[in-house]
Structure 1
Amino acid sequence: MWKTLISSVVGSLLLFPAFQALAEDSEYEIIGAAYHAEDIEQLLYEERYTPIDENGKGEVHYVDPDGERIAEKSLDYSYGDSRPSFELRDLREDLHWSARWTDDEERIRLARGSVDAPDTETVDAKSRQVIDAGFDPFIQSQWDRLMDGERVTFHFAFPNRLTNVRLRAERIDAEDSPIQKQEEDWVYFRIRVNSAVLSLFADNLYLAYDPEDTRLMVFRGRSNIPDADGEGRDVEIHYRYP
C-alpha cells in the first residue's frame, strides 16, 4: 500500500516530432512529456498546463501519443500556491480523484473512485500542507533551506489512499538520482516518507530543477494517470516551458 501511496504524487527534447508540433501549436504554459521510467524513448502521454487565470484557476490536459485527451484536471490556487484544491478525471473510465477544502479551510475532503459514488475521507490540514501540483511551489518556497542541506518535512494529501502523510524533501547528488536525463548544472532532490519503518515499503520521488530560475525540469515516480488497463506505472516526466 505505502509503495503506491508515496509514488502517486504528483517538456522534453526527446519528444516525437509530430507530437511536439501538436503541443507547440497550442497555448499551454507548461508541457510535461511522460516517458516510461525504464525507457525514456517510450512516450506514454503529455500533461499540458494552461495559464493560471486571475481567479487562481487552471487546468491540466493529459493527451496520449495519438493526440487523444485521456484525462483532465482542474486546479484552484486561491487557497495558496502549495495547497490547491483539485479534481482529476480519467476520461477513459468512470474514475476521479479530488481534494477540496472545507469552508473553514481547516480540513480537506478527499475522494477517489466512481464520480457518482466515490470513496471519501476528510483529513485535518497541517501547518505545512501540500496538495497535488503544489509540491513544486513548496519546493521553491523552501529553496534556500534545501540548498543549505536541510531536510524539509511537509504533509501531502493523497486522495489515492484517502490520507494525509508526512513526507521529507532533501537535496541529493546527481549520481544518487535515478533520473535518466540529467544536466550537469541541475539540482536534484528526493522526496520520501518521513518514517524509517514506512520508508522500507515506499518508493521515493525524484526531482531535477534548473537553479537559474528554480524551474522543475524532471519528475520521476508513480504517475497519477493509470494505463489503459487501470494499472499504475512509473514515469519520468520532462518539462519544458514554451
Structure 2
Amino acid sequence: MTLPAQHLSSLETRSDGFLTDVGAMDIGSATATAVIARFDQSRFEDDLFTTLCVDRPDRLDRAVEKRKAEYLAGRAVAMAALASTGHASKQIATGPNREPIWPAGVAGSITHSKGRCAAIVTDQPGTLVGVDIEEIAERSSLDAIFKVALQPDETRLIREIDTQALTATLVFSAKETLYKALFPAVQQFFGFDHAELYGEPSETLLKLRLTKSLKNTVTAGSVFDIGYRQLGGSVITWLVTPAPAD
C-alpha cells in the first residue's frame, strides 16, 4: 500500500513543530503501511488534538502532559497510515486493555518512546501486526532487561556478542512486538518467558520462538521473524504475519 508524500508533509506542517521527520518506512511488506515520526513534548498543546483531528478520550483529562503528547503522536501517525486503507477520517479508539481498536477490516499497531512514534496498518484479512520502539538500554535499564525479560539461554547467547546492550534491547523490543501482534488473536496475557531468541540476529532480522502454547491457537515451537532497524540511540522492531488458523 502507498501513502502520498503530501499527506505526511501536511501532517507535519499542521502540527506546528510537534511532529517532525514524518515519513513512510519500508518494512519489506507489500500489504502494510508504516509511518514513523519524531515528536517534541515541549511543543505539545491541547489544541493540537483538534488541529490534527484526533479525538481526545476523557481518561486523558487527568493525564500528565507527557502521556497526552505520546497519545496524540501515536494516534496522529496511525491515522496517517490508515489513509492508505481508505479510512483517512476514522478514529482509533482504545480497548479495555489499552489496545487500539481499529476500523473493521483493518489491523495495526502503535508505539511511542523517547520522542519517537510509529504505526503500522494493513487492510489484509487475517494479518497480525506489531511494532515497538525502545531506547537502547544502559546501566540499570540494561540490568533490568537481563533480569526480567531474558531467559538463561538468551543471556548466555547475548553475553557472547560484542553488542550486548543493542542485542538485549532488540530482544526485549521484539518480545513486546510479538505480544502486540499475537494478543488480538489469542486474547491472553503472556510474559517474556513465552518466547525466546532463536539464534543470533542478522543485520535486519531476529527470530523468536514460542516456548509455551497460547490457548491452543499458537503452538510452542512456532518461530516468528521480527524485522528491526536501529534509529540512532533507539531501535524499532516489527512483525506483519498471517494470523494462526483456529
More helix by share: 2
More strand by share: 1
Q: Provide the TM-score with structure 2 as the length reference.
A: 0.40
Larger CA Rg, structure 1 vs 2: 2
Q: Provide the TM-score with structure 1 as the length reference.
A: 0.41
